[in-house]
Structure 1
Amino acid sequence: MKQLRTQLKKSRRQLSYFEQQKAERAVFQHVIGSAIFKNSKKVGIYLHAFGEVSTRLIILYCFKLKKEVYLPRICPIKQQLLWVKITNQQYLKKQFYKHPLGMYEPFGRGQLVSHLDLLILPLVGCDFVGTRMGMGGGYYDRTLANASYSPYRLGLAHNFQLLPSLLKRQTWDQPLDAVCTPKKLIFFKRLPQSST
Structure 2
Amino acid sequence: MHELRRQIRKQRKQLSSFQQVQAENFALNHLRRFHQFQSAKHIGIYLDAFGEVKTKKIIELAFQQSKRVYLPVICNMNQKLVWVEISQHQYRNKRFANHILGMQEPRKSRGFHVNQLDLLILPLLACDAVGTRIGMGGGFYDKTLANSTHKPYRLGLAHEFQYIRQKLQRQTWDQPLDALLTPTKLYRFKR
When normalised by structure 2's length, the TM-score is: 0.98
For the Cα contact (< 8 Å) 1:31–1:180, is it kept in 2?
no
SS of the aligned residue for 1:53 comes to coil
**Aligned residue type for 2:29:** Q
Letter aligned with residue 64 of structure 2: K
SS at match of 1:28: helix
Runs of 4+ in 1 over 2 A off after TM superposition: none
Cα distance in 2 between the residues matched to 1:29 and 1:166:
29
Matches within 5 A, 1:12-161: 12-107=12-107, 108-161=109-162
One-letter amino acid matched to 1:39: S
Distance 1:116 1:178 in 2: 16
How many residue pairs align between the two structures?
190
**SS of corresponding position for 1:54:** coil
Give the C-alpha shift of residue 32 in structure 1.
2.0
Sequence identity (%): 56
The 2-side partners of 1:186 and 1:164 are apart by: 12
Unaligned runs of 5+ in 1: 191-196
Q: What's the offset of the Cα at 1:39? A: 0.6
In 1, Cα distance between equivalents of 2:183 and 2:63: 22
2:187 matched to which residue of 1? 186
Structure 1 CA distance, aligned partners of 2:151 and 2:128?
21
Secondary structure of 2:164's counterpart equals coil
Read off the aligned partner of 1:187 and give its amino acid letter.
R
Q: Is the 8 A contact 1:30 1:184 kept in 2?
A: no
Structure 2: gaps of 5 or more residues: none
**CA offsets 1:52-101 (integer angstroms, 9 cap, x no match):** 00011110000000000000000010100000000000000000000000
RMSD of aligned C-alpha atoms?
0.6
Question: Secondary structure of 1:94's partner?
Answer: coil
Q: Deviations over 1:136-186 (max 9, x none)?
A: 000000000011211000000001000111100000000000000010111
Deviates more, 1:43-52 or 1:144-153: 144-153
The equivalent residue for 1:194 is none
Give TM-score scaled by structure 1 length. Answer: 0.96
Amino acid at match of 1:141: D
Q: Which moved more, 1:69-78 or 1:27-36?
A: 27-36
